[in-house]
Structure 1
Amino acid sequence: MTAAAVGIGLLSGGGTALAAPDGRSAGPVVTRAALDPALVAGRGARVAFAEQEAENAATNGAVIGPDRTAYTLPSEASGRTAVKLTPKQYVEFTLPGPADAITVRYSIPDAPGGGGITAPLDVTVNGKARKTMTLTSQYAWLYNQYPFSNDPGADLLHPDWWITECACVPAATTPAPVITKPFRPSHFYDEQRLRLGKTYRAGDKVRLTVPAGSKADWTVVDLLDSELVAAPHVRLVAANVVLFGADPLGRRDSADAFDRAIAHAKRKNLKVYIPPGTYQVNRHILVDDVTIEGAGNWHTVIKGRQITLDEPAPDGSVHTGVGFYGKDAADGGSRDVHLSGFAIEGDVRERIDTDQVNGVGGAMSDSTITGLHIRHTKVGLWFDGPMSNVRVTGNIVVDQIADALNFHTGVTDSVVSDNFVRNTGDDGLAMWSEKTANARNTFTRNTVQSPVLANGIAIYGGTDSTVSDNLVADPVREGSALHAGSRFGAEKFTGRLSFTDNTTVRAGTYELNWRIGLGAIWLYALDKDIDADVRVTGDHYLDSTYNAIMLVSDYAVKDLYAIEGVRFKDVRIDGTGTSAVSARVKGSASFENVDARGVGAVGVNNCGSFNFTPAGSEFALTDLGGNDGGRGTESWLAPWLLPNTITCDDRPPVVAPPAPSPW
């Protein structure tokens, strides 16, 4: 098989070129979430690029990791491993297929006092055609407790909160504990895209070299994505923003020109076209009943600075920035908005939850968002309903301070599919039914990688929600891959909640406050019972750091809320650091054809709600048959565990799970 054929096969979910024993000498190794693509065939976003991990490439640098401990560079890397370079060192990738563009995910140090630095990275192909990328850490490096600080020397933001590191509440502790600074550094990585200037062939060598004299003491390269960029999309009969005064060189603000083009398009029943170029836009563009097309997200870039408002807006915002916003739901919302084929690059460097500095926002019913590339905004797409029938497809959302996408309050009959998400500062994809329930929404065929905080995909209340055929990898802290939570004031779960045919890998993080490991999928009853029709079918949980499945409540409400009647069927568990199932709540679940292997501890860690009654655990597990495998010859759901035997080990020892392999 030729290298080109290998590359094409990988992009469609086929096989991969195998590495030599040193992992670096047998040609290109293309992965999906650092996995052999064969392990995730049919799941996750269908993308135009090939992903290659730096640790599989040729290098004279140092491989760092694997490490799943939060606040370390390897923990936030894809696959929990990367390559660290010092000046004059390189990492070299072999292209698996034709490519004329690359994306590099990297980290460089922060400035000593915060705020970031810039540093060069030289790019050559076959030793020629040198280009220099200017890397930056201005959009990385957060510190301290939520909502975090850009100052590495900051004192505790919440001295009245429990601190795991000292096992104390500092404000109530005498003498006051010494907290090491910088405290809890995180959000280390950023990424940049580069056009190579010509099309290179499979087998050509792309070398990334840190030049001598770089201001960065070290440069970590996590991965390289390579692709062949499609020709620019052209719309001749349209309201061309350049004709209304927009500057494709980005020298002056084009927001007013965009407004004029949109107004003209609506009067004349035309589409708005944004030709190739970089356009400076430093505020929201209001969209309603309009189609806006770019030439493609590699060709058309809408880039803005974050602007401090003279006084706070009514919604509490103290900044504005680039974004395409529908009207507020309270004003009727927008309809028939169609956005496609451009990039949105924001300038958000800190988390201020009241700020409306998202890439796409407001309410948009009967609308589509497709083919966008969004980075450096607070949230890529945040929708405040009520609204209905939005389709979010084929977008790339990276390097966010908070979520990639959130359906917030009364979003209904909408679909999020084939989106690629990497390096969010909060949930990757979320449905949050605050005040008004979301209903009949679907997240399907998405890839979420390396959410630094919280979960890959999270559902907070709502009715008839579906999460299917997604790939979620490498959550870092205080969350996991898949989550259903009665929390944050969400409306009750009703109808059916379906998790179907999803794959998670290296999931299940350490929860700081509880000081326990979470499950790759976890259900959490904090504010209300979870007693809807919850079905988990066909999921694969690979290489789970702690448990594969967790059902939990908070100790303060352990006797108030339950998780009842969850059904697990046709699930595969391939490697856990602790148990296959951890139950820390009252309620029940059933299991049918749930196969497990490489389970690190007792198959079921059943603590119930910690009352330890003579009748057994308050959480009942029902064996519907076909539940095979576990640790050694012992079935993970052994007969002696049923129906509700207490097998509670509050913090079982953690073992390293085996690497995933074909079942």
Structure 2
Amino acid sequence: MVGDMFAPPRWAALLATPLVTLGVAIGPADAAAAHPSSVAITPTATRAALDPALVAGRGAGVAFTEQEAEHAVTTGAVLSPSRTAYTLAAEASGRSAVSLDPGEYVEFTLPKAANAITVRYSIPDAPNGGGITAPLTVGTPGGTRTMNLTSQYSWLYNQYPFSNDPRAGLLHPDWWITECSCVPAATTPAPEVSTPFRPMHFYDEQRLLLGRTYRAGDRIRLTARQVTTTIDLLDSELVGAPRIDLGGVNVLLFGADPTGRRDAAPAIERAIAYAKKVHRRVYLPPGVFQVNRHIVVDDVTIAGAGNWYTTVKGHEVALTTPAPDGSVHTGVGFYGKAGGSRNVHLADFAIEGDVRERIDTDQVNGIGGAMSDSTITGLHLRHTKVGLWFDGPMSNVEVSGNIIVDQIADGLNFHTGVTGSVARNNFIRNTGDDGLAMWSEKIADSDNTFDRNTIQTPTLANGIAIYGGTDNTVSRNLVADPIREGSALHVGSRFGAEAFGGRLTIADNTTVRAGTYELNWNIGLGAIWFYALDSSIDADIRVTGDHYLDNTYNAIMLVSDWPVKDLYSINGVHFRDVRVDGAGTSVISARAAGGATFENVDARNVGAVGVNNCGSFHFTPSGSEFTLSDLGGNDGGWLAPFTPNVITCDDRPAVVPPPAPSTW
């Protein structure tokens, strides 16, 4: 790794946080400002905390309307915007939120009629970990309701794969520690690491049907009652009536308990078996159905009454002996059969798990296995390890119109030989790893598309990551607010992935407030970044029509790790019709050998030199080992002075936060 070769940038200076009397909370890094309730604020609907006009045609089309708490009326305190990891502000949508002491409120004015809300919030952890519960009063013109908030599914600490214990010492004493610029096991004496060490994954969310429809202009007031409560945003929605399917095989007829008190898995399996015999679909009516293990599905359609009405909910169950795949727990999930399933169609219900820690060998995903010629649509996935983890080979699956939130790891992963498949129009928020990923481990993923998805606030890694593969497409997505050790869009030859081949198309995506701090290297990443670690990246890669808005550091990075910088290069990347509106440092950061072309790449509000070109760090008399080819039309004066390979290497450029993005 690069290690102490790089000094930390200014925005990474404050990382530690203190304890408070009740539980673990965030301290001085989240300085707050009063926001008096007498201030009249026009109800503002945003998308990823942006003016919707800036992202028209990009990201998922969703039924709800987003409103940021920092733009609402409140008697609490607005957290000062921050992108410093391990702070409540940094993990909030738009990098700000509202902190409420008991008795304080934040009040939203509905921009559209609604009968349901989703609240994204954070409350403190228990002093020894494990979470607490606390009520939140929801005030409406029709009366008050109570939301019972919990922090049992949030608050992780320490090094990967993280701990639920705020008191825990280092999980990996021999790993590089940025805070002390050292490898603790190699120092005498080892430096002390304050606890809780690297708190993260602060937020969770809950949904609530309000019981009646409220009009545009009506107010929703959220009042903290027992503990300090941070409100990030409110999503409001007009939910239709539950879907009734008289022609489907109703699981109630096979003994399924819709109250959630008794195990419904055997009844659901009996209904599936009968439905396959009579060639009908399975119907999950309104209710909560307890399922604590995998339901294996093949050649079957299972549909609910709508994901606000039908919930399949389970406990995480410890196995008496580890499974052959290494799992030590099981939990609720719908899985393809061994060898792969076909013709599976899942729609219109929620899956709610009980995953509170990350154990990478555990198969506790909402959807798992292989399902060819299948569709997954209209699901709401929450509190599982990964929303959907597909292990190929498999082909022709469409994942569309789903909401995937509060995962301990990825949102969706096409893993190993997934072909001809698409993830489109999905909304993904608060994942603990990549929001969307294609991972070509052992067998290449090919001919897949990630299109028009929205990914917000992944607490680790990337919004969208492509690890090897052939002829894949990433198009028209909206990615906002990645937190650390990753960024918005990532192309990486790593994790043992098959090499890139054919053409990788990256087109018409928008990123905002990306370009994060890389914990191990002590430098900032690009909103889109290419990483040659296991092999060179030399496929035909076309980046066209992307918009990179309000980048914390640079907009585009091409990098190889220090130990392999003379072995692997990055070539064949072509940027065309790209806009960069705001970069804290440079438009381009090149830290590898190779080259890229640029045509009609326009940039404004750039904080440092347009190109930070280190090449492979040999600083030869002939210039950098990375070549930038100017194909014309690159407005803003950022490129021409630095072509083809002018060395401008600066690991510590001054960060100049750009103004908010605006219409081009």
TM-score category of the 2 structures, normalised to the smaller one: over 0.9
Which has the larger displacement, 647-656 or 106-115?
A: 647-656
Q: How far apart in 2 are the matches of 1:237 and 1:576? A: 56
Q: How far apart in 2 are the matches of 1:284 and 1:523? A: 37
For residue 649 of structure 1, what is the aligned residue in structure 2?
650
Deviation at 1:23, TM superposition (A): 11
Matched-pair contact (CA < 8 Å) for 2:554–2:583: yes
Q: Is 1:531–2:550 an aligned residue pair?
A: no
**What is the 5 A alignment of 1:247-646?**
247-328=257-338, 331=339, 333-629=340-636, 635-638=637-640, 640-646=641-647
For residue 161 of structure 1, what is the aligned residue in structure 2?
175
Which letter does structure 2 place at the counterpart of 1:202? A
Q: Is 1:662–2:663 an aligned residue pair?
A: yes
Deviation at 1:621, TM superposition (A): 0.2
Deviation at 1:65, TM superposition (A): 2.3
1:199 to 213, 219, 225: 213
Matched length: 630
Q: How far apart in 1 are the matches of 2:614 and 2:489? A: 22
Q: Is 1:231–2:241 an aligned residue pair?
A: yes
| Larger RCO (CA within 8 A; separation ≥ 6) | 2
Deviation at 1:27, TM superposition (A): 2.5
Q: How far apart in 2 are the matches of 1:652 and 1:22? A: 40
Which letter does structure 1 place at the counterpart of 2:372? S
Matched-pair contact (CA < 8 Å) for 1:24–1:57: no
Matched-pair contact (CA < 8 Å) for 2:41–2:73: no
Deviation at 1:159, TM superposition (A): 0.3
Q: How far apart in 2 are the matches of 1:589 and 1:428? A: 27
Matched-pair contact (CA < 8 Å) for 1:444–1:468: yes
Q: How far apart in 2 are the matches of 1:278 and 1:657? A: 47
Deviations 1:337-367 (A, max 9, x none): 0000000000000000000000000000000
Q: Is 1:112–2:119 an aligned residue pair?
A: no
Q: Is 1:145–2:155 an aligned residue pair?
A: no
Q: How far apart in 2 are the matches of 1:197 and 1:255? A: 30
Deviations 1:538-586 (A, max 9, x none): 0000000000000000011000000002100000000000000000000
For residue 230 of structure 2, what is the aligned residue in structure 1?
220
Matched-pair contact (CA < 8 Å) for 2:37–2:74: no
Matched-pair contact (CA < 8 Å) for 1:23–1:57: no
For residue 171 of structure 1, what is the aligned residue in structure 2?
185
Identity of aligned residues (%): 75
Matched-pair contact (CA < 8 Å) for 1:439–1:463: yes
**What is the 5 A alignment of 1:16-27?**
25-27=40-42
Which letter does structure 2 place at the counterpart of 1:373? H
Shift of the 403–65 alpha-carbon distance from structure 1 to 2, 3 Å rule, reads same
Q: Secondary structure at the match of 1:195?
A: strand
For residue 28 of structure 1, what is the aligned residue in structure 2?
43
Q: How far apart in 1 are the matches of 2:353 and 2:80? A: 31
Deviations 1:582-611 (A, max 9, x none): 000000000000000000100000000001
Q: Secondary structure at the match of 1:594?
A: strand
Deviations 1:441-488 (A, max 9, x none): 000000000000000000000000100000000000000000000000
Q: How far apart in 1 are the matches of 2:643 and 2:435? A: 36
TM-score, reference length from structure 2: 0.94
Q: Is 1:60–2:75 an aligned residue pair?
A: yes
Which letter does structure 2 place at the counterpart of 1:244? F
Q: How far apart in 1 are the matches of 2:42 and 2:600? A: 39
Q: How far apart in 2 are the matches of 1:478 and 1:23? A: 40
Shift of the 601–135 alpha-carbon distance from structure 1 to 2, 3 Å rule, reads same
Matched-pair contact (CA < 8 Å) for 1:23–1:56: no
Shift of the 23–52 alpha-carbon distance from structure 1 to 2, 3 Å rule, reads farther
For residue 14 of structure 2, what is the aligned residue in structure 1?
none
Deviations 1:405-442 (A, max 9, x none): 00000000000000000000000000000000000000
Which letter does structure 2 place at the counterpart of 1:349? R
Q: Which runs of 5+ in 1 are unaligned?
A: 1-19, 630-634
Q: How far apart in 2 are the matches of 1:226 and 1:245? A: 35
For residue 5 of structure 1, what is the aligned residue in structure 2?
none
Deviation at 1:21, TM superposition (A): 13
Q: Is 1:43–2:58 an aligned residue pair?
A: yes
For residue 8 of structure 1, what is the aligned residue in structure 2?
none
Shift of the 335–446 alpha-carbon distance from structure 1 to 2, 3 Å rule, reads same
Which letter does structure 1 place at the counterpart of 2:314? G
Q: Secondary structure at the match of 1:111?
A: coil
Q: How far apart in 1 are the matches of 2:643 and 2:201? A: 43
Which letter does structure 2 place at the counterpart of 1:499? I
Deviations 1:67-117 (A, max 9, x none): 000000000000000000000000000011110000000000000000000
Q: Secondary structure at the match of 1:165?
A: helix
Deviation at 1:24, TM superposition (A): 5.5
Matched-pair contact (CA < 8 Å) for 1:24–1:56: no
CA RMSD of aligned residues (A): 1.1
Deviations 1:135-180 (A, max 9, x none): 0000000000000000000000000001001111111111110101
Matched-pair contact (CA < 8 Å) for 1:359–1:374: yes
Deviation at 1:235, TM superposition (A): 1.1
**What is the 5 A alignment of 1:240-251?**
240-251=250-261
Q: How far apart in 2 are the matches of 1:607 and 1:25? A: 50
Q: How far apart in 1 are the matches of 2:301 and 2:639? A: 54
Matched-pair contact (CA < 8 Å) for 1:344–1:359: yes
Q: How far apart in 1 are the matches of 2:122 and 2:530? A: 33
Q: Secondary structure at the match of 1:440?
A: coil
For residue 16 of structure 1, what is the aligned residue in structure 2?
none
Q: How far apart in 2 are the matches of 1:65 and 1:196? A: 31
Q: How far apart in 2 are the matches of 1:464 and 1:614? A: 38
Which letter does structure 1 place at the counterpart of 2:115? D
Deviation at 1:327, TM superposition (A): 1.4
Q: Is 1:94–2:95 an aligned residue pair?
A: no
Q: How far apart in 1 are the matches of 2:272 and 2:413? A: 26
Deviation at 1:51, TM superposition (A): 0.2
Q: How far apart in 2 are the matches of 1:94 and 1:27? A: 8
Q: How far apart in 2 are the matches of 1:106 and 1:423? A: 11
Q: How far apart in 2 are the matches of 1:386 and 1:285? A: 20
Matched-pair contact (CA < 8 Å) for 1:255–1:285: yes
Matched-pair contact (CA < 8 Å) for 2:37–2:75: no
Deviation at 1:118, TM superposition (A): 0.1
Q: Secondary structure at the match of 2:153?
A: coil
Q: How far apart in 2 are the matches of 1:24 and 1:539? A: 37
Q: How far apart in 2 are the matches of 1:23 and 1:516? A: 42
Deviations 1:377-432 (A, max 9, x none): 00000000000000000000000000000000000000000000000000000000
Deviations 1:8-32 (A, max 9, x none): xxxxxxxxxxxx9999624210000
Q: Which runs of 5+ in 2 are unaligned?
A: 1-34
Matched-pair contact (CA < 8 Å) for 2:135–2:149: yes
Q: How far apart in 1 are the matches of 2:412 and 2:178? A: 30
